[in-house]
Amino acid sequence: MEINIMNKNFRIFFLALLSILAFQSFAFSQEQSSSNKYKPRTLSEIIELNRKATDGILKTAKLEEKNGFIGIDPFYSKVRVEYIGTPRPISDNHLGLITTWSKLQQVNKKFTRLYETEYLFKEGDAEYWIPLQKQIAESMNNELKLGDALTLFVIYVGAEKEKNSKQFESLFLSTAYEK
């Protein structure tokens, strides 16, 4: 199932983004867990790095429309979070963003199929549902207790604004973790 996240104004942005991606040499490799490319950041910092783009979309978006934003830069990051341990199947909104992102970034479907479940994490007072690869989720369930602090290796996918909302919800994928 694919979620259409484009309105008229977003189509122009989307086509521009496709053009940029077509000409840039960024190739998303299957080496996401090579820790040297992951920079220490916070999730809120990554969201702030994308604030200009998401705010630009919000200025032109109608409140009653759903809008999405796919990040060009995956912002490979190591973030400190608290393990809440609550799982759920990946939401339809997140699946839609992952599908669109994987097409734009030319990510192999074998990689995106590794994600079926998302877990709840906290960074300060903010909560984030972050999809985990199957083997990472199994390892966390066996190794971590509720409330444990850990470092997640994440990549930034994008953000989505629901109908009648004035805020974007950002989406990150976890590729590894350290206790």
Q: Domains, the chain, ranges and CATH?
A: 8-28+36-178 (2.40.50)
Identify which of 103, 115, 107 has the alpha carbon closest to the alpha carbon of residue 172: 115
Tell me the C-alpha to C-alpha distance, in Å, between residue 134 and each of 69, 87, 119, 131.
26, 12, 11, 9
pTM above 0.85, yes or no: no
At 154, which amino acid appears?
V
Note the pLDDT of residue 60.
75
- Sign for the CA dihedral angle at 127, 171, 48, 7 comes to negative
State the pLDDT at residue 165: 72
CA angle 57, 58, 60 (to 5 degrees): 70
pLDDT in tens, the chain (179 residues): 444 455 555 554 444 444 444 333 334 443 444 668 999 999 999 999 887 776 777 677 776 676 778 888 899 999 999 999 899 999 988 998 999 999 988 988 888 889 999 999 999 999 999 999 999 999 999 999 999 999 999 999 998 877 777 777 899 999 999 99
Nearest to 152 by CA among 130, 170, 169: 130
The pLDDT assigned to 160 comes to 85
Side-chain half-sphere exposure of 93, counting CA atoms within 13 A:
17
Residue with the two structure tokens 């484009």? 6
Helices (H) and strands (E) in the chain, counts: 6, 7
CA-angle at 122, arms to 94 and 66, nearest 5°: 30
